[in-house]
A and B are shown apart, each in its own frame.
Chain A
Amino acid sequence: MPEYISVEGLREDGRRANELRRVEANVGMFPHADGSAYFQQGDTKVVAIVNGPKQGVGKAGDAGKVVCDFEMAAFSTTQRRKPLRLDRKNAELGSKIASTFESAIMTDLYPRSQIEISVQVLQADGGVLAVAINAVTLALMDAGVAMTDFVCACTASVIDGTNVLDINHYEASAQGPELTIAVLPSSSTIVMAEMKSRVHGDLYAGLQDLAIVGGTTLLPLLKKAVHDRTRAMLPCLGPAA
């Protein structure tokens, strides 16, 4: 049986149970999109693009709509997979992301409009949904879409009786319960929670707390990426009047 946590309490990639993977963010690399971001957590790499808010189909008085197109690159997983034209799993993740952000975006400011998000996973090494949500948060902020808060997402799981944070693909193969949670960090409000399997009620509270802590730990990292991008854009405001 493979060992997931060593006797010293270190995981296979050298992290402690409550540590996140290394994070890398790049905001606004596509000038032709309204907003774009690249986000990497460990070896999970995601690109998110935002177009809009633009003319939607609704009638006057309708609040803005968020739609999300989720795609995995053919080369993103260990097994090369031909992309399907209608992938149920991807469509479900897409609508999950869209409804997550509808609770953070101030949609009433964008009547009759549509905000189009598209997510492309370049490399999937566990926690794809969580990393995608973090990437979309950055892309939406790059697009200047009004939001009440960042949306930070993180996974948590139980391996060999220990709660572990932000699991990778190898640790997911331990078949433990995998919980993905998206929070609004300033109020610790949960806006999305997804559990891959059934879990004993006694375990759930600990898992949820750990995932929330993971999400709030991500906040300063995401904030720095947005702040740096904004700072780099300051010359666009022109000389002081």
Chain B
Amino acid sequence: MDTTADDAGATAPDATTTTTTTTTTTTIVERPGMRIVCPGDVITEDQGYMRGHGTFIHDGRLLASVAGVVERVNKVISVRPVRTRYVGEIGDVVVGRIMQVGQRRWLVDTQSRLSSVLKLSSVNLPGGVLRRKSASDELTMRQVLAEGDLISAEVQAIFQEDGTLSLHTRSLRYGRLGPGMFMRVPSVLVRRSKNHFHTLPCGVAVVLGNNGYIWIGASMEEDTTQAREHDQHIITEETRRRMARVRNAISALAHRMLSIFDTTIIFTYDDSAHLEEKEMLHPEAIATITQRAYLLCTDQL
């Protein structure tokens, strides 16, 4: 008995120091070889390396320019910031909102540094892939996509001079998103993976945009761009509750800064079964329902 009391006394101050960084008593395990740097820190004085993102060279030394984790690919050293605006890569799946209809292009908000561009020539218009775009198409652009519409798209190109993203929706998977929920999380939380369109075991469809924009819908039916009439079909209350649960599960993950992908969402969704949807975002509830996802993300599972 005495020894256990001593142990408790000895570990108590340790436990309080860890709670300042995390909400639970689990300590963060730093992966071996993972190095955290702050701007101005010297990463290496070795001349044999090349400068990647998040670094700069001063007096022949390689310094960090953002706070984050050092990554090395062969001879290129870069620093990945833990939080930043979305930095696009070709092939990324993104969810975006139409901000403006312009000359032969739409301007799309993708949570990146600059508005992204969706060219009229990069969308499939009704009437087949090989249809030629005519002048009348330019005048009826708003019937295809209007301001405020949500779309899923793929990054087709990145403009060299300023990093603006050029998107395309030339695939049946992409296009206007139908009725559903939209949410925003920090873009670093969404990992790049093979598939960003998921139909979860509960039947709810989610599109996890690499840019941190997420769409949650009742089902993944393809939305042909002109099918606005279909929007009126009714979603049952049960489905709406399931969608709300998925939303809150993702929100809970984002609260604890945990990586968001299908497995963590399913873990959190399943572990929240004993709670009502509206109770999921209480601070204590977040800690319990995301525990399994937390262990997975920190390689403790």
Contacts and interface: CB of A to CB of B under 8 A. Distances in A.
Interface in A102-132: 106, 110-113
B40 A236 contact: no
Interface stretch (B64-72, B148-156, B227-235): B64-72
A150 interface: yes
A34 B21 CA distance: 19
Given A235-B28, A237-B82, A60 B36 contact: no
Interface centre among B161, B186, B257 (most CB of A within 10 A): B257
Contacts of B20: 228
A54 B294 CA distance: 31
A113 B68 CA distance: 22
Interface in B44-61: 54, 56, 58
Interface in B16-60: 20-22, 28, 30-31, 34, 36, 38-40, 54, 56, 58
B238 interface: no
Contact of A239 (B28, B56, B65, B297): B297
Nearest to B259: A238
A239 B254 contact: no
Nearest to B58: A148
Contact of B82 (A113, A186, A230): A230
A231 B69 CA distance: 9
A241 B194 CA distance: 13
Interface of A: 28, 31, 34-35, 52-55, 60-61, 106, 110-113, 141-150, 184-186, 223, 226-240
Task: Return the 9 tightest CB-CB contacts between A and B, nearest first.
Answer: A144-B84, A238-B259, A144-B81, A149-B40, A233-B82, A146-B65, A232-B21, A235-B297, A111-B162
B200 interface: no
17 contacts: A28-B83, A35-B83, A53-B85, A54-B113, A110-B113, A113-B114, A143-B84, A145-B84, A146-B65, A149-B40, A150-B40, A184-B40, A230-B38, A233-B82, A235-B298, A237-B297, A238-B191
A61 B159 CA distance: 12
Contacts, number: 139
A27 to B, nearest CB: 9
B258 interface: yes
B186 A234 contact: no
B296 interface: yes
Contact of B38 (A35, A52, A110, A227): A227
B261 interface: yes
B115 A55 contact: yes
Contacts of B161: 60-61, 111
Max chain B Cβ within 10 angstroms of own Cβ: one of A54, A230, A236: A236
A18 to B, nearest CB: 24
Given A55-B113, A227-B36, A231-B36, A236 B259 contact: yes
Nearest to A140: B39
B49 to A, nearest CB: 18
Nearest to B84: A144
A134 B56 CA distance: 23
Contacts of B241: none
B299 interface: yes
B255 interface: yes
A149 B39 contact: yes
A113 B36 CA distance: 27
B28 A232 contact: yes
Contacts of A228: 20-21
Interface string B151-175: 0000000000111000000000000
A234 B82 contact: yes
B30 A144 contact: no
A130 to B, nearest CB: 19
A134 to B, nearest CB: 14
B198 interface: no
B169 to A, nearest CB: 21
Given A53-B113, A111-B161, A112-B114, A143 B83 contact: yes
A198 B171 CA distance: 69
Contacts of B30: 231, 234
Contacts of A53: 85, 113
Contacts of B294: 235
Contacts of A141: 38-39, 66-67
Nearest to B99: A55
Contacts of A185: 40
A223 B258 contact: no
B220 interface: no
Contact of B66 (A146, A150, A236, A240): A146
A238 B82 CA distance: 11
Contact of B257 (A34, A52, A223, A233): A233
Contacts of A186: 40
Contact of B255 (A31, A35, A148, A149): A31
